[in-house]
Structure 1
Amino acid sequence: VETGNFETFDLQETIIISRSGVMDNAYRVANALGVSQANVIRESSPDFYLDVSVIIGHDFEKLNTD
């Protein structure tokens, strides 16, 4: 797990990014957090050694965290 800041702080809604290209993993994370599948995108990169990135938006209080 890595943490850090995104390129902007002006993100209204949380987005889930599939880094490995396996969208099922990203959709599972989105469902667990209560994020719309419309906010799941694919941005594969061999430089990332992870499946999914979660970019938390201003809607963070609505996320399922239980």
Structure 2
Amino acid sequence: MKNIKIKTDMIQLDQLLKLADVIATGGQIRMFLDAKKIFVNGELCQVKRKQLHDGDVVEVKGCGTYRVCGE
């Protein structure tokens, strides 16, 4: 599991995936959502701008698992 540090109270899912180098642009997230490959805290996520907070865990099937870490 890779920790992704943020400096704000929250981050949107597409922004987190860009920070984690899973996607290069925010538009690429649609491909992952359509393929039903993203889980947030164990639940399937279909919202590209889902708000994530400290402690949330994002799993992208075939890419990795990422934990949101606040400062």
Q: TM-score, normalised by structure 1?
A: 0.32
With normalisation by structure 2, the TM-score equals 0.31
Q: Tell me which structure has the larger Cα radius of gyration.
A: 1
